[in-house]
Amino acid sequence: MEQRLHIIVKGLVQGVGFRYFTQSNAVKHQLKGWVRNLTNGDVEIDVQGASSNLEHFINAIKAGPPYGRIDAIHINDDSLPLKGYTTFNITY
Protein backbone atom coordinates (compact mmCIF):
# COMPACT_ATOMS: atom_id res chain seq x y z
CA MET A 1 0.00 0.00 0.00
CA GLU A 2 1.29 3.45 -0.94
CA GLN A 3 1.60 6.00 1.83
CA ARG A 4 2.85 9.58 2.13
CA LEU A 5 4.71 11.01 5.12
CA HIS A 6 5.69 14.53 6.12
CA ILE A 7 8.77 14.45 8.37
CA ILE A 8 10.66 17.10 10.34
CA VAL A 9 14.12 16.12 11.59
CA LYS A 10 15.76 18.11 14.40
CA GLY A 11 19.37 18.06 15.55
CA LEU A 12 22.69 18.55 13.81
CA VAL A 13 21.22 17.93 10.37
CA GLN A 14 22.50 20.82 8.25
CA GLY A 15 26.03 21.04 6.89
CA VAL A 16 26.66 17.32 7.49
CA GLY A 17 25.36 15.79 4.22
CA PHE A 18 21.96 14.91 5.67
CA ARG A 19 19.96 15.84 2.56
CA TYR A 20 22.21 13.71 0.34
CA PHE A 21 22.03 10.88 2.89
CA THR A 22 18.23 11.17 2.82
CA GLN A 23 18.07 11.21 -0.98
CA SER A 24 20.37 8.19 -1.23
CA ASN A 25 18.21 6.21 1.20
CA ALA A 26 15.00 7.25 -0.55
CA VAL A 27 16.34 6.06 -3.91
CA LYS A 28 17.61 2.84 -2.31
CA HIS A 29 14.10 2.14 -0.99
CA GLN A 30 12.31 3.21 -4.21
CA LEU A 31 10.64 6.22 -2.62
CA LYS A 32 9.62 9.52 -4.21
CA GLY A 33 9.39 13.07 -2.86
CA TRP A 34 11.81 15.73 -1.65
CA VAL A 35 14.03 16.94 1.20
CA ARG A 36 15.05 20.50 2.09
CA ASN A 37 16.74 22.55 4.80
CA LEU A 38 14.58 24.89 6.85
CA THR A 39 15.75 28.29 8.06
CA ASN A 40 15.47 27.19 11.72
CA GLY A 41 18.11 24.46 11.25
CA ASP A 42 15.70 21.55 10.84
CA VAL A 43 15.27 19.39 7.75
CA GLU A 44 11.87 18.76 6.13
CA ILE A 45 11.07 15.60 4.16
CA ASP A 46 7.98 14.82 2.08
CA VAL A 47 8.17 11.19 0.99
CA GLN A 48 5.86 8.55 -0.40
CA GLY A 49 6.01 4.92 -1.42
CA ALA A 50 5.26 1.42 -0.21
CA SER A 51 4.65 1.25 3.54
CA SER A 52 7.32 -1.41 4.06
CA ASN A 53 9.89 0.70 2.17
CA LEU A 54 8.96 3.76 4.22
CA GLU A 55 9.61 1.79 7.41
CA HIS A 56 13.15 0.90 6.26
CA PHE A 57 13.71 4.52 5.17
CA ILE A 58 12.65 5.90 8.57
CA ASN A 59 14.98 3.48 10.36
CA ALA A 60 17.87 4.71 8.20
CA ILE A 61 16.95 8.36 8.82
CA LYS A 62 16.85 7.74 12.58
CA ALA A 63 20.46 6.50 12.39
CA GLY A 64 21.51 9.57 10.40
CA PRO A 65 24.75 10.28 8.53
CA PRO A 66 28.14 9.78 10.24
CA TYR A 67 28.69 13.46 11.13
CA GLY A 68 25.09 14.29 11.99
CA ARG A 69 23.08 14.00 15.17
CA ILE A 70 19.35 13.30 15.29
CA ASP A 71 17.65 14.81 18.35
CA ALA A 72 14.01 14.31 17.29
CA ILE A 73 11.94 13.15 14.34
CA HIS A 74 8.34 14.27 13.93
CA ILE A 75 6.36 12.15 11.48
CA ASN A 76 2.92 13.13 10.18
CA ASP A 77 1.21 10.16 8.56
CA ASP A 78 -2.40 11.30 8.97
CA SER A 79 -3.69 9.86 5.67
CA LEU A 80 -1.92 12.49 3.58
CA PRO A 81 -3.06 12.41 -0.06
CA LEU A 82 -0.54 10.97 -2.50
CA LYS A 83 1.29 13.40 -4.79
CA GLY A 84 2.44 12.78 -8.34
CA TYR A 85 6.13 12.54 -7.42
CA THR A 86 8.27 10.66 -9.95
CA THR A 87 11.71 11.09 -8.31
CA PHE A 88 13.25 12.04 -4.97
CA ASN A 89 14.83 15.50 -5.09
CA ILE A 90 16.83 17.83 -2.91
CA THR A 91 15.02 21.17 -3.00
CA TYR A 92 16.17 24.60 -1.89
By annotation, the residues acting in catalysis are 19, 37
Are 31 and 78 spatial neighbours (Cβ–Cβ below 8 Å)? no
Please list, residue by residue across 71-81, b when 16 or more beta carbons sit within 10 angstroms of its beta carbon and e when fewer do.
Answer: eebeeeeeeee
